[in-house]
Structure 1
Amino acid sequence: MPLSLFPYPGMGRKGSQSDSHPDRGILNMENAYVSMQHFNSHQFAPLTSSPGQSPAEYPAFVQRAAAAARYHAAMGQGGLAPGFPPYPWAVPDMYPMDLLPQMDTQAVSIHVLLSPSNPMVQQPHVLYDVRYKRERAYMTTHSFMVKLPDEYADQPATQPPVAKMWLICHDIPWRIAVTNHKGVTIRDILEAIHKELHVPITEGEWWIAQEEERERTLAAYQDSCSEGVQEDVRRKHSEGVKRVDWLGKRTMFMSILRLPMDEAFIKARVPDKKAQAETWVLDLGEIT
């Protein structure tokens, strides 16, 4: 393997650490947070297996997709929680003014733009390919797609706001730290993801990886340097392989969540108990 893949000096094995358009208002995001209580309610309790049966566990991405689907089903018509009336058919603007009812501010809630998308109710969602800078992030809602406005990018990512978040992902071995003493915003999260994923992979990290992971990473690296790639994404071969290449084709932001099924994953990846309480799971997916 040519060492030109690792263009910077001092990147040997000792230095590797795997954890190291509208001008008018689009949405009133005041209550646009998804309470984690929805994910911990009784309707998500796992079913008891039949006696004598030990069914094989579904892949993590299947389990998380199913949990997100159950959540959206529980949210009911118009994306509202059960017991809340649906939105009227006529609204004063082109979008509903309140996405969710007022949540208990004592429970940490994630901004709806960062929660799993739901095409059935066309809820707003961040559309972001992590190969690009944050300025290339979009927002989709009601069949419209616009560049993510600054007034939404600068909103707190959680309610109540938090000063620090750790992001972990099943697709990469690195943790992503997001900090803002005034409260982590959506902008902070997208910029931190891009910054962390565009760090060059060290030679040590390269050789620790499985052969299949190296093949996938090398293919993504070569694709990113090819003439067929958009100019603002195309890289020079001299830049070497980066963490974003590790993702292969799974470079689309899907959501940030913390589900009950994530607790074991969090404890395995984050030994420190204080950091565990600050950790969320980043879901990425393939470009469609």
Structure 2
Amino acid sequence: MKTVLLRSFVALLFFTLGAQSTFAQKRSKKAKKEQVTTVQKKDTVAIYAGDFKEDFLRVFFKESGKIVYSGTEFKFVLSLILTDTGVVEDVIVLGVDNTNVKERMKTIAKNLGKWTPEVKAGQDIRSQVTVPFAIKESEFIMNPAELDRLLAESKERSKESVYSNVDTKATYPDGMSVFVQQFVELFTPPIFEGDKLRFAITFIVEKDGTVTDIKLYGISSPNQAELLKEITKAFVSMKKWIPAIKDGKPVRSQFTLPLTLQNASTE
């Protein structure tokens, strides 16, 4: 009888110790799991998925777009305001005077890829990121002297044949609605008298898609020369056109664009 009781006691002891061991292991695993889930994010600055400068410049200058700038180096700064979800909420442009160019830069910066937000004390937070630019590449910058040379060259090229009867008309790569939108963004009209200024622009789309021989019609404004220069600046900053086709070959063709300017001082 004593032997049976002793065996029962030993069995109960092992069962109790085993249960305690199993319970302790489960509690240890649970504690480790809780420790893993409560680890905070490391503090990091906001990160762009890619090369922000490269992406911005590629969109801003597009294919052959240039800006007319009198210096040898074009410097400006973009200051981005980011939300706690990585969305660009606002953009401050420093070093650029042209209002249209500023707005274009803001739009591009807002529409590029999403950012990973800044993390502080384990939380995603709003932040400000400053991105400086210094552009020296000649393919992006045209100084005023080059612009004058371009105008002179366009006069010489105007002596070549221009076709009006073509198989396929010249077109802007993204369509005329996009062309008009981009032109309005880049064009800075000079001051003029009256409520409105109506005129027409004619230009030649060359065989390589460049725009030359820009002329104004239906206007007698004293600022005609300044107006022509501002229009040329806008065209220089845009994509090349798709030239007209005749007999299977690209040819020079003329394009006419009517415009109406509203005087901002009378709005």
Query: What TM-score does the superposition give when structure 2 sets the normalisation length?
Result: 0.21
Q: Rg bigger for which structure?
A: 2
Query: What TM-score does the superposition give when structure 1 sets the normalisation length?
Result: 0.20
Name the one with the larger helix percent: 2
